[in-house]
Amino acid sequence: MSVVAHLQELKKKHENLSREVESIQRSPGGDDMKVRELKKQKLRLKEEISKLDA
């Protein structure tokens, strides 16, 4: 897998996590623990994207 393709895949995963977080936060009684874990995953992806994009 090329670096460009890997970056695109990471960005797609990051966007999917963003949508999932938003969905949970909009729903009544959303799971705060789940949101926290998803945000940590997003941060790890963002850091990896930044390293590869530099």
Tokens 């895949």 found at: 9
pLDDT of residue 49: 95
Domain layout of the chain by residue ranges: 3-53
pLDDT of residue 45: 97
Q: Are 45 and 10 in contact (CB under 8 A)?
A: yes
Tokens 């949508």 found at: 19
pLDDT per position as a tens digit, 1-54: 799 999 999 999 999 999 999 999 999 888 999 999 999 999 999 999 999 988
pLDDT of residue 54: 81
pLDDT of residue 44: 98
pLDDT of residue 30: 84
| pTM to 2 decimal places | 0.87
